[in-house]
Structure 1
Amino acid sequence: MTSLPRETVGQRYDPVLMQRAREKSWAALHGIRARMRVGISEDEAKIEAADVFRELGVDRLWHPAIIRIGTNTVKTYRQRSDPGVRLGKNDSYFIDLGLVFEGHEGDVGDSFVVGHAPQRQACAQAARALFGEVAAAWRAQGLSGQALYALAGERAEAMGWRLNHAIKGHRVGDFPHAIHKGGDLGELEASPSSGLWILEIQIAHPTEPFGAFHEDLLSV
């Protein structure tokens, strides 16, 4: 399929199943969103998420469900959330899922706002817009992974947000993708192939303690 060693896949890899895993992962994310409510904690939201996964027939998780609320939206994947945070009346949160369907990995994430929080809404919209702009540049220009994240940093700053440079995207594929050691998208010197890489965008307000996250499969 590809000559890049970092894009190695298993014998059962099927691009159609990759797209199906992506679609089902988005369905799971929006199922969790429908259960989010003012006052819910991150741990309670994860219990709700487990119910959604069972309903949709998720094979397994390839990374734990991550739900960040309020000030925890500036935390990276490896950072623990501050305990006791609950969703406020005018607040924001994001959902990050790594699910396996039919032996193929989905990885999706998005940010949402409850109540009236214009700055937080602007941040969530900016994360989606920045993702769309960078993904469009990949499709149009065939930029390398490194160039994609350089562009993301430049555009985030121009838009008035702070890009989390520790988040640099990664490989996915037939489970488990980790055996292929694809590494970070942001370190890839070549143009990533369609259907194998997750573009992650995490931004934060330059001075206030909130941020937003959006990720999806790079696909033509």
Structure 2
Amino acid sequence: MAISAEVAAERVGPAFSVDGMLLARQKTRQAIQDVSALIEPGMVEEDAVELTKKTLIDSGMELTWHPTRVRFGINTIKPMKQASVPGVILQENDIFFLDIAPRVQAWEGDGGASFTVGKNSEYERCARDAETLFHEVRHVWTKDKLTGQALYAFADSKARSMGWELNFDLPGHRVSDFPHAAIYTGSLAEFDASPSAMRWILEIHVRDPEGRFGAFFEDLLLSDEYFA
């Protein structure tokens, strides 16, 4: 009997483990916090990328399925697949984000978050709103069991109401025991069913409508108990 496209999209590999996925998530989130504490004004973006890679390796993780990214200032508006402007230096009052996808043993981690240095209220609001919007979308998923398509339509509407533009070049994706791309390569934003927990990364990239800066937050799509 043939299985539906939606069921096929949520398959896992032979090494899949809930405990393993949660371990990868925990180590990924910890690495983000560890690296963010080391980034400071005057640092060049490329050096921050190397610092992030070293932190991941020193933590026992492997650099895997997408490049390790750190974006400073003007580079925070760019889609992830677009290269940064080289040589950007973090200023005294600035915004930056991390986007990492390490592997912990057989399991994929993926996480991102935005941070500010110095004092700039618009940067601070953007970074805060990216994470807030992530949780608002997650709460709608928990409560209403919307499809992936409907979740991103909701995210787009909410982002606009907050004064930001949602970047649809970051539409969420599968995550699993490595490599998830052998199972499914489509996006969460095109998924025409309510996504299951422990299977998907919810990505939120908001940008200033004038194209000056942006902020990013992503994490595993999970219920409230995992965000205490």
* TM-score between the two structures when normalised by the length of structure 2: 0.93
**What is the letter of the counterpart of residue 216 of structure 2?**
F
CA distance in 1, matches of 2:96, 2:63: 24
Kept after mapping to 2: 8 A contact 1:59/1:103: no
Kept after mapping to 1: 8 A contact 2:35/2:52: yes
Kept after mapping to 1: 8 A contact 2:46/2:86: no
Pairwise mapping of residues 27-106 of structure 1 onto structure 2 (< 5 A)? 27-106=30-109
CA distance in 1, matches of 2:56, 2:28: 9
1:173 pairs, out of 173, 176, 182, with 176
What are the superposed Cα offsets for residues 27-50 of structure 1, whole Å, 9 maximum, x if unpaired? 111111111011111110112112
- How many aligned positions are there? 219
Gaps of 5+ in 1: none
What are the superposed Cα offsets for residues 161-207 of structure 1, whole Å, 9 maximum, x if unpaired? 11112210000000000001241000000011100100000001112
SS at match of 2:67: strand
Q: Which residue of 1 aligns with 2:226?
A: none
Q: Which residue of 1 aligns with 2:17?
A: 14
CA distance in 2, matches of 1:195, 1:48: 29
SS at match of 2:101: strand
CA distance in 1, matches of 2:162, 2:63: 37
**What is the letter of the counterpart of residue 78 of structure 2?**
K
Question: Following TM superposition, by how much is the alpha carbon of 1:208 offset from its aligned partner in structure 2, in angstroms?
Answer: 4.6
Question: Between the two proteins, what is the percent identity of the paired residues?
Answer: 42
Gaps of 5+ in 2: 224-228
Question: Following TM superposition, by how much is the alpha carbon of 1:11 offset from its aligned partner in structure 2, in angstroms?
Answer: 1.2
Q: Which residue of 2 aligns with 1:205?
A: 208
SS at match of 2:71: strand
Q: Which residue of 2 aligns with 1:215?
A: 218
CA distance in 2, matches of 1:22, 1:35: 20
- CA spacing shift, 1:84–1:60, aligned 2, 3 Å: closer
Runs of 4+ in 1 over 2 A off after TM superposition: none
**What is the letter of the counterpart of residue 186 of structure 1?**
A
